[in-house]
Amino acid sequence: MNKKSIKDIQIKDKLVIMRVDFNVPLDKKTGVITDDTRITAALPTIEYILKNNPKKLILMTHLGRPDGQVKEELRLDPVAKRLQDLIKSPVKKLNDCVGSKVKAAIDSSREQVILLENLRFHSEEEENDADFAKELASLADIYVNDAFGTAHRAHASTEGVAHYLPAVSGFLLDKEIEYVGRSLESPEKPLAVILGGSKVSDKIGVIENLLNKADTLVIGGGMAYTFLKSQGISIGNSKLEKDKIDLAKDTLEKAKKKNVKVVLPVDHLIVDRIDEPLKIETTKDASIPDGMIAVDIGPKTIELFKNALRDSKTICWNGPLGIFENDKYAAGTKAIGEFVARLGVKSIIGGGDTASAVAKFGLEKKMTHISTGGGASLEYMEGKVLPGIAALQDK
Ligand code: ADP
Ligand code: MG
């Protein structure tokens, strides 16, 4: 799937409308932006467009969940202010996103960058209403989508609008298409997939898709115990999804048929209770004594996983291998993270908590790509078509 990018079209003297993801966290009491990562992430695309002399650049985003109503605390004024500081040129913030007043304000604006009001003040946005999408499209000559986090939703600003304008991707979307879309669709082999995190049920779609592509599947984290249980191994009080034991068993059989090598933990770090444990031990094999809880992979497993990953050309990692938020239970996730970083092969990281783990261990710059989509990343890794990407023009 080759989609047209902002680099493939003429911007000069054009009115450009761009969907960005400025859904930043706000302090509940003061309304101050507590983390502007999403704004800074969009700067390369914004700066590229501005350098190419558009007539104007109109930005649009949602913020929070106003559910189709105007909510004063979810207006975009603080976002406009922060953006203005970051790009060091004035940003005109409008009080609505469609209508004749908005059009007139864009026409007469002396500022080159305009930020429309929160799209979700209109219920038509999430309903992907065609008239609303047409109204958004009528504001500009070119549509750019750089909001990966909402690309899995067919909303007016992410999908509908693309039907009425030349529609291309921004740089953030380009990267996701290249590294999550293309690299996982036809990966450079061997492909090893590391899966962890809390639940089998969250990741089963990813497993199903990647079983058709992967050479090796390494399973750790909370979901490993349902897999171990399905093989008749005792797991004590470790995390278990009882209703997924059969599914885990089937998955392992499927993997065998497809010649995918599956690697499960062979030892664990176990505790008597997760908070303030009295006992912390390493098991000598895969089985976990009654009453004990596995919170991380053990040292033998770390070595086993490293050996399984060593010869791969692409590594896709989704889900921490232990309760890494607690430093005492972080060794497995850290060791495997550092190993992947050191291997220097193509490494694609997905999942909010996995991204936090990579950041916690200072490995962000050493990974090839860290997908920032949350739900969108997961669906993309499941091999699903994301409406926000599908709607863009083919190359
Ligand atoms: P991601 O957000 O990267 O997709 P998940 O949300 O699926 O990952 O899972 C992350 C959570 O899994 C983390 O909060 C971590 O503490 C938890 N986890 C990892 N290993 C275990 C374990 N052995 N037992 C319980 N929870 C675990
Ligand atoms: Mg998570």
pLDDT band at 118 (very low <50, low <70, confident <90, very high): very high
Q: What are the beta bridge partners of residue 216?
A: 192, 261
pLDDT band at 152 (very low <50, low <70, confident <90, very high): very high
Q: What distance in Å separates the CA atoms of residue 356 and residue 346, rounded to the nearest whole number?
A: 19
Write out the catalytic residue numbers.
Answer: 38, 199, 352, 375
Q: How far is the CA of 195 from the centre of ligand 2 (A)?
A: 12
Mean pLDDT of the chain: 96
Which tokens in the block code for residue 3?
Answer: 């989609």
Average pLDDT over residues 352-371: 96
Q: What is the pLDDT of residue 179?
A: 94
Residue 226, ligand 1, Cβ within 6 A: no
Name all domains of the chain by residue range, CATH numbers in brackets.
6-171 (3.40.50.1260), 179-381 (3.40.50.1260)
pLDDT higher at 118 or 372:
118
Question: Which of 268, 323, 358, 381 gets mutated to test ligand 1 (max ligand atoms within 8 A of its CB)?
Answer: 323
Ligand nearest to the CA of 196: 1
Question: Which of 200, 353, 361, 367 gets mutated to test ligand 1 (max ligand atoms within 8 A of its CB)?
Answer: 353
Residue 382, ligand 1, Cβ within 6 A: no
Q: How far is the CA of 45 from the centre of ligand 2 (A)?
A: 27
Average pLDDT over residues 169-181: 96
Residue 319, ligand 1, Cβ within 6 A: yes
pLDDT band at 358 (very low <50, low <70, confident <90, very high): very high
pTM of the model: 0.91
Are 313 and 340 spatial neighbours (Cβ–Cβ below 8 Å)? no
100-103, Cβ contacts within 8 angstroms, sequence gap of 24 or more: 102/139, 103/138, 103/139
Q: What distance in Å separates the CA atoms of residue 187 and residue 63, rounded to the nearest whole number?
A: 35
Listing DSSP states for 352-366 in one string gives HHHHHHHHHTT-GGG
Q: Which three-class secondary structure state does DSSP give residue 78? A: helix
Q: What percent of the chain has pLDDT over 70?
A: 100
Closest atom of ligand 1 to 356 CA is: 3
Are 183 and 207 spatial neighbours (Cβ–Cβ below 8 Å)? no
224-260 per-position pLDDT tens digit: 999 999 999 999 999 999 999 999 999 999 999 999 9
Q: What is the pLDDT of residue 1?
A: 61
Q: What is the pLDDT of residue 245?
A: 97
- pLDDT greater than 90 at residue 374: no
- What does the longest C-alpha to C-alpha distance in the chain come to? 73
pLDDT band at 2 (very low <50, low <70, confident <90, very high): confident
Q: What is the pLDDT of residue 282?
A: 98
Average pLDDT over residues 274-300: 98
Q: What distance in Å separates the CA atoms of residue 39 and residue 307, rounded to the nearest whole number?
A: 39
Q: How far is the CA of 224 from the centre of ligand 2 (A)?
A: 16
pLDDT band at 370 (very low <50, low <70, confident <90, very high): very high
